[in-house]
Structure 1
Amino acid sequence: MDGRIKEAVDLFQEVMMYGTERVIKSVDHPLWNEYSPEQIQMLKLISKEKRVTSARLAVLQAVHKSAISSRIKKLLQKEVIQVVQTEDRREKMLELTDKGQAILMELEKVLTDYIEKLISENIADEEIDQFLTIFRKLKTIIKMDGV
């Protein structure tokens, strides 16, 4: 394997792990205290998927179903998600409530404002364009793989 690809993968993983931790520590907002990073990620996934099963969430978050059940229970109690019955009575789908959508919008605004400040102070416009080009391409490739 090309050493640059391994370095790119390593760097991406480091940015995801340590970047998330830094953002959580740096962003001062009450919602960041009320929701765990895993719960916030789950809200984002439910938003992207529109309606999703707990089994699919377990796959997307790469955790056991028991961990997902606990997160779902807490989010149901906070009334940010709801269970939707489908024609197949055995299958229960989850979706965001209006409250959940509002909270997610607020969390994303706080996060975007913080990261926008971080990037604008440290990264040149052409580098941002390169980043976007590469990540759009990766997203297309990943989606074509049927993920």
Structure 2
Amino acid sequence: MIDVENCINLELRKANRVLSQLYDGYLQECGLKTSQFSILRAVRFLKQTTNSELQEVLILDQTTLSRALKPLLREGLIQACPGVDKRQKMLSLTNKGRAIYKEALLQWEKAQAYVSKNLGEELKENLLKVSRSVVELKA
């Protein structure tokens, strides 16, 4: 492989694309992309949330989140109900969304196991540590 440039951003983006392709390959059986699974996962853990809370948790801008939410809402995996504030919508998983999430979680676990096995425990832990450190730069 040609080393184009010693650029942290470029190298992380390339690694992210490879990981996304791997996870997408496993999740395609459920009809989801990694980005959609991440949203379902966040909504499941938060139980009920808003767009702005999801943006913060997933570190996404409004446009990217809205674009990713549309198919999940359209397919009936997530429902949007009026919040206390009329401008705010509360998001939660539907029964169908919980079922798809449960199915996708099995595929995600397979992807996790594949990546963990091939990276090895030490490199996996280092990668997680580096990723968390990079996220902390967002101030």
Shorter chain as denominator, the TM-score bin is: 0.5 to 0.7
- The one-letter code sitting in structure 2 at the alignment partner of 1:39 is Q
Q: Does 1:52 align with 2:50?
A: yes
| Aligned positions, number | 131
Partner of 2:125: 129
CA RMSD of aligned residues (A): 3.5
The alpha-carbon distance between structure 1 residues 135 and 55, as it changes in their structure 2 partners (threshold 3 A), is closer
For residues 129 and 61 of structure 1, the distance between their equivalents in structure 2, rounded to whole angstroms, comes to: 24
For residues 76 and 28 of structure 1, the distance between their equivalents in structure 2, rounded to whole angstroms, comes to: 18
How big is the shift at 1:63? 6.5
For residues 55 and 132 of structure 1, the distance between their equivalents in structure 2, rounded to whole angstroms, comes to: 23
How big is the shift at 1:53? 2.4
Q: Which runs of 5+ in 2 are unaligned?
A: 1-5
Greater RCO between the two (CA within 8 Å, min separation 6)? 2
For residues 137 and 9 of structure 2, the distance between their equivalents in structure 1, rounded to whole angstroms, comes to: 15
TM-score (normalised: structure 1): 0.62
Partner of 1:18: 18
The alpha-carbon distance between structure 1 residues 51 and 28, as it changes in their structure 2 partners (threshold 3 A), is closer
The alpha-carbon distance between structure 1 residues 22 and 119, as it changes in their structure 2 partners (threshold 3 A), is same
Partner of 2:32: 35
- The one-letter code sitting in structure 2 at the alignment partner of 1:113 is K
For residues 129 and 36 of structure 1, the distance between their equivalents in structure 2, rounded to whole angstroms, comes to: 24
Identity %, equivalent residues: 19
Partner of 1:68: 66
Q: Which runs of 5+ in 1 are unaligned?
A: 1-5
Q: Map Cα deviations across residues 111-146 of structure 1 (whole Å, 9 max, x no partner).
A: 2212312331x333322332333334444x257x2x
How big is the shift at 1:95? 1.9
For residues 99 and 137 of structure 2, the distance between their equivalents in structure 1, rounded to whole angstroms, comes to: 29
* Alpha-carbon contact 2:81-2:89 (below 8 Å) kept: yes
The alpha-carbon distance between structure 1 residues 36 and 142, as it changes in their structure 2 partners (threshold 3 A), is same
Partner-residue secondary structure (3-state), 1:90: coil
How big is the shift at 1:110? 0.9
Structure 2 residue aligned with 1:82, among 71, 79, 87? 79
